[in-house]
Chains A and B, each alone.
Chain A
Amino acid sequence: MNHFTRLALACASGLALSACSSLGTGEYGYSSYALVRVRQVNVGDGSLTVTPPRPYNRHRAFLWSDVRDVEDWTLNGPYLDGISFVSGLKGGAYLIRQSKRADQQVPKFRSDMTPPEIVAMLESLYRVKGGAVEFRTLSLQPRPFLGTNGFQLDYEHLDGDELWRKGRAVGAVIDGKLYLILFDAARSHYYGTILPDFESIVASAQLRR
């Protein structure tokens, strides 16, 4: 979810520069990131709220390329770390927008998916969209989430830039809709350092009725 937006922004950024001004417009003007302050915020389509333990950067959604129920945050940039929220993804919906005619596709979410099937959907997301050449499920275990029986997935993946990344996802299917918080970061240094933030965010997560 965060991977494929990174290139879009890299190319878009190239367009923003004017001739022979200082390299880069510096840190003012329009950025595709907005500040998330340290207080309770709604994420995704608003049905989920969380409280971050420190300020975060929220990737602004592009209306035409992002799914409303999915929101991405980062501390250091999507190449290094990211926390993604899936709030109330309905059955029959996809995690990302893709062409129906693409040869390789991320499967859609179904309301009767068991945790192993959700894991498989995430794995396909990484392989098809994220360019991962290896994906390892480290563990899948039950974990209470949002007041119901959910699951926790731990995984690792090797991407096209030959960097190993590691991740943890906590989720549950409630009323046939998927709620998921997913953390993915470079395995060296970034995963371990930011994991406590993720756990704090998961602990603060609440459903808005």
Chain B
Amino acid sequence: MCTRCFEVSRRSLLIGGGAAAAALTTGIAEARVLPRDMVPLVGPGYKPTDKDEQGIWQLMDRAEEEISGSNLLINDPKLTGYLKDLIGKVGGPAAKDFRIYLAHIPDFNAMMFPTGFAVVFSGLLLRMRNEAQLAGVIAHESGHFLRRHMIRSWRDERRKTDIFAIAAMAAGVGGAAGGVYLGDYVQLAQLGTILSLFSYSRAMEAEADAMGVRLLAENGYQPLEMATVWEQLIGEETASARYRRKRRRRGSLFDTHPSPDSRLADLRISAAEVTEAGKAYDNGRERYLAEIASIRPMMLDDQVKLNDPGASQYLIETLARDGWNGLLRYYEGEVWRLRNRHGDDARAALSYAAAVAYPDAPADAWRWHGISLMKAGRSAEAKSAFGRYLTMKPDASDAAWVRQVIG
């Protein structure tokens, strides 16, 4: 029954949240929204005058207060400084003054609010391969409020629910909770739940895409990277579902973004449209990888430990397109080990062995390498691997156990 309730905070973010939620639609193709038509409808210093919009802003303010005090934040000033600069560039006219909160949550999401703050999840940073991709997601999100989608969708939703109460509440599990007692600020402040307020129509998503592409190009980023983000996300969902022998999850990204193909196609055309001949566009890969290097091991850890082998494997392979290293080989091994199917321990052993050959192999790789060797009966090599582990991490949490095994 309510065993699914805990998933509300995780998956619903993907469903009801910043990257998502389109209303029920027919299959009719819509005309592509042109990037050049996308101009911001709000400028710096905007304050709402309508009562319902004021109400929503007040909720956002209170939500920000909760978020800023949350235990779930990563407070690394270098990292948040980097994100702030980025948001200032592509977040629209007022975004230079935005506050930015980086949340330690392994899901893909980023949210921007007209009241002046943004929240980025660590799961998003893991999945981006370069700065242009991250900028693209941020630009897309800011598109939603620059085009006043939030208040528009709220008003649409309100009108629709006058007729269809149950459907409104059932629109996304997160939305269900959000739709009933919105007066609960603490509830809203749970990172991401606030987004259940907003479900964007396909037209709005198209506008946000177009605005995003335009903002990217204007700032010298490769606009095609926005389409690549989509491809990666879809690839991940497919890999995850395929592993579990399912076609697609109910409430998966597919359901909330009908016909992703047409959206991808439109993105590619729009990207081409805003690309000026002769101008250099950057994807900022090296810079991005350098900036997130400090939290990358933690993000990989969070992801792999969720034990969604299809998705994790896909992610690691995608990141490895920029080159394998000890860290990625180690986590590849972890995916096998947790997957735990017939033959996976052998696969994991191979990955650990590969990982420790690199200079950047984390200490934990040596411990798991040791355990694999131990199980294979190669005790001398196992002892040496454990010894290496303890040298790298003399006060490891399981040092007592390892020392006992070495004897």
Contacts and interface: CB of A to CB of B under 8 A. Distances in A.
The answer to A–B direct touch (Cβ < 8 A) is yes
Interface of A: 3-5, 7-8, 10-12, 65, 100-108, 110, 112, 114-117, 119-120, 123-124, 127-131, 133-135, 137-142, 151, 158, 160, 162, 164
A60 B180 CA distance: 31
Contacts of B291: none
B404 A142 contact: yes
25 contacts: A8-B1, A8-B2, A8-B3, A10-B2, A101-B245, A102-B244, A103-B240, A103-B241, A103-B249, A104-B306, A107-B338, A108-B340, A112-B375, A116-B371, A117-B337, A124-B306, A124-B307, A127-B305, A128-B306, A133-B104, A133-B302, A138-B397, A158-B72, A160-B6, A162-B72
A100 B245 CA distance: 10
B273 interface: no
B12 to A, nearest CB: 12
Contact of A124 (B106, B190, B305): B305
Contacts of B400: 139-142
B5 interface: yes
B71 interface: yes
Given A112-B375, A164-B71, A4 B398 contact: no
A106 B307 contact: yes
Nearest to B368: A116
A108 B345 CA distance: 13
Contact of A140 (B10, B306, B371, B397): B397
A124 B9 CA distance: 17
Nearest to B245: A101
Given A107-B338, A141-B401, A162-B70, A133 B6 contact: no
List 5 tightest A-B contacts by C-beta distance, closest first: A140-B398, A141-B400, A7-B2, A131-B6, A11-B2
A4 B6 contact: yes
Count chain B CB atoms within 10 A of each CB in A65, A104, A127 and give the residue with the most: A104
Contacts of A116: 367-368, 371, 398, 401
How many chain B residues sit at the interface, stated as a range, is 35 or more
Given A101-B244, A116-B371, 14 more contacts: A10-B2, A103-B241, A105-B307, A106-B307, A112-B375, A116-B368, A123-B305, A124-B338, A127-B306, A128-B307, A130-B6, A139-B400, A141-B401, A142-B404
A65 B4 CA distance: 13
B9 A104 contact: no
A29 to B, nearest CB: 20
Interface string B1-19: 1110110011000000000
Contact of A133 (B2, B106, B339, B375): B106
Interface string B296-331: 000000100111101100000000000000000000
A160 B400 CA distance: 31
A110 B306 contact: no
Interface in B339-375: 339-340, 367-368, 371, 374-375
A117 B397 contact: no
Interface of B: 1-3, 5-6, 9-10, 70-72, 104-106, 190, 240-241, 244-246, 249, 302, 305-308, 310-311, 337-340, 367-368, 371, 374-375, 397-398, 400-401, 404
A32 to B, nearest CB: 13
Nearest to A124: B307
Contact of A104 (B307, B340, B397): B307
Given A107-B307, A129-B6, A151 B401 contact: yes
A65 B400 CA distance: 37
Contacts of B368: 116
B398 A141 contact: yes
Contacts of A114: 371, 374-375
Given A4-B6, A103-B311, A106-B307, A134 B104 contact: yes
B358 to A, nearest CB: 22
Nearest to B400: A141
Contacts of B374: 114
A103 B308 contact: yes
Contacts of B397: 137-140
A158 B6 CA distance: 14
Nearest to B9: A160
Nearest to B374: A114
Contacts of A100: 244
B340 A140 contact: no
B246 A131 contact: no
A5 B252 CA distance: 25
B1 A11 contact: yes
Contacts of B71: 158, 162, 164
Count chain A CB atoms within 10 A of each CB in B246, B337, B398, B404 and give the residue with the most: B398
Contacts of A108: 340
Contacts of B104: 133-134
Contacts of A164: 71
B6 A115 contact: no
A115 B339 CA distance: 17
Nearest to B190: A160
A3 B6 contact: yes
Contacts of A120: 305, 337-338
B327 to A, nearest CB: 18
